[in-house]
A = this chain, B = another copy of it.
Amino acid sequence: MISAEKALRIILDAVPAARGESVRLGRAAGRTAAEDITSGDDIPPFDNSSMDGFALRCADVASAGDGHPVRLTVAGESSAGNPYGKRLRTGTAVRVMTGGVIPHGADTVVPVEHAEPAGECAVLLRSPSPRGAFIRRKGEDIRRGRRVIARGELLTPPHVGVLAAIGRESVRVAVRPRTAILATGDELVPPGRTPGPGRIRNSSSYALMGMVKESGGTPVFLGIARDRKKAILKKVAEGLASDILLLTGGVSVGAHDYVGEVLHRAGVEIRFWKVNIRPGSPLLFGVARRTLVFGLPGNPVSTAVTFLQFVRPALRRMLGRTEIFPPRFTAVAEEPLDPAGTRRSYLRGIVRREGGTLRVKTTGSQSSGVMTSMLLANCLIILPEGGKRMSAGSEVEIEFLRDPAFAHDGGGNDA
């Protein structure tokens, strides 16, 4: 039985890098950059106005005051996409719209609400303006030649916007790792069937498909293999064509021997079996050429927890992702929290915010058979090895289970 840290180290050391592929801009969000991206242009490409107003020379209005306004002739207009082509002459102003090019010769913008119309073709200014006011400078956002996105970054929607702005119609991203999912067990029937005596419906495979997708992989469901060496061997061989193979079930003490034998015969080198965690201790990990093989415990809670703690970091590492672990937060326990023996424990928790503090309690029964605990939970509470009971009021570490944008409604929002 090895520690969670050691298990993770063994897994991460074995992860090969995913290949890269080119995708069109419209499909880039959610992918991982497989290249450093440098801008070939200054952004913005020209000095432009950040307000609707008048572009003018700062010097022309330096003497303006409430009792002695300066009158400037409006020589033309510069709206976004329609520049004023000429040079601005002393004593004149150009009407400029937000995003419009600042005409040559102008160095300042006065917002429309601070200029007083004086007939059709003139404005009165009643105060001086600081040079450069309301001008967005060429290259102020992105300087030509600057690296704007680094290899390994997740491409969020704003990243895709920046790619568009610098003229990239396609981008090189990491290929989604093909992740085969194989359920094993004589007891399993597909969800559409009514289970006979002693049978249950296969559920873990469906949860895994969603988790693989969320983590950046492409799930490939291989179906259910009966507990026969030949049946499992055939499916395992099929799964080894993928980047990752996830088996569920078949890793408990009784089942392990022949699943181990099957994996060995399929050319999988087992790197570890059993980790000092709960739930999920029978976790198995092996490698066959370039394929990572995980034997996940069959019950849904253990499957989900071991996926999140061990498979997801491997998937992200394979993608070349800079950040592979979710951040941890500190929360105050609202009730005493009991670890599972001396193992590192992942309790299903409900965290809420109270003022500036996160407070967490468990979902109730921490039996790994209670899959509904994963519906109630919005976080995992991680208790370290050693078996120390955490009394109510203790600070504990949590990881959110979902995007907190969905996780809970901690108050403090509008409407």
Contacts and interface: CB of A to CB of B under 8 A. Distances in A.
A404 B404 contact: yes
B372 A142 contact: yes
A166 B12 CA distance: 36
Given A298-B99, A304-B158, A395-B356, A29 B372 contact: no
18 contacts: A50-B368, A52-B252, A81-B185, A82-B187, A98-B298, A140-B369, A141-B371, A156-B375, A156-B401, A160-B206, A165-B300, A169-B191, A323-B406, A325-B409, A327-B405, A327-B408, A327-B409, A356-B395
Given A200-B165, A395-B356, A412-B328, A304 B157 contact: yes
Contacts of A357: 330
Contact of A371 (B46, B162, B328): B162
B192 A8 contact: no
Nearest to A202: B164
Interface stretch (A86-94, A119-127, A207-215, A232-240): A207-215
B211 A83 contact: no
B405 A326 contact: yes
Interface of A: 4-5, 8-9, 12, 25-26, 29-30, 43-46, 50, 52, 78-83, 97-101, 112, 136, 140-142, 148-149, 154, 156-169, 185-188, 191-195, 197-211, 213-214, 221, 227, 249, 252-255, 298-300, 304, 313, 323, 325-330, 353, 355-358, 365, 367-372, 374-375, 395, 397, 399-415
A259 to B, nearest CB: 13
A210 B157 contact: yes
Nearest to A397: B412
Nearest to A402: B156
Contact of A254 (B79, B167, B169, B313): B79
B191 A163 contact: yes
A46 B202 CA distance: 15
A329 B356 CA distance: 7
A214 to B, nearest CB: 7
Nearest to A95: B254
Contacts of A355: 330
A330 B406 CA distance: 17
Contacts of A99: 185, 187, 200, 298-299
A375 B185 contact: no
A327 B353 contact: yes
A5 to B, nearest CB: 5
B141 A197 contact: no
B367 A136 contact: yes
A370 B136 CA distance: 9
Contacts of A12: 415
